[in-house]
Amino acid sequence: MKRVYDGKKIITGLVLFLAAFTSPFWYNTVFGTFDYVPELKVEKNGKECVKRTSYMKTNHMVLLRFWRDEVVRSGKRIYKKEDGTEIEMSLSGTCLKCHKNKEEFCDRCHGYLGKAPRCWSCHNVPREAKK
């Protein structure tokens, strides 16, 4: 009786496939880039951010979309922070006062995550980033 399959070749192929498939994870673990997070530079103007840093790192796009909808659809331009302070809902007028350097702040994080923000399709790129 003739064998239709060759177990050694199949097992060898599976092992090579798994090694190749998991190689990015092993590479990052061995060379220490697994927990890399880009360093973001913020210019402090003595003001606090709109919300906590932990919230802004993960949900700033939700807040910006909310602001966009409120301003464009409802005509509301004032946002009340958690502490009761009122600020203008404006990417250019509020956020970019501290986050002026697009390359060192926005681009570093979005590039690291492979995301392309659509902010700059409507808003002007900060002057510092054009230099």
Kindly report the pTM of this predicted structure.
0.66
Residue 119: the pLDDT is 83
d(CA 68, CA 60): 12
Contact yes or no for 40/109 (Cβ under 8 A):
yes
Inform me whether the pLDDT recorded for 28 exceeds 90: no
How many Cα atoms within 13 Å fall on the side-chain side of residue 29?
5
pLDDT of 76 reads 95
Return the higher-pLDDT residue of 40 and 88.
88
C-beta atoms surrounding 34 within 10 Å: 11
72-104 pLDDT tens trace: 999 999 999 988 999 999 988 888 888 888 888
Report pLDDT for 128.
59
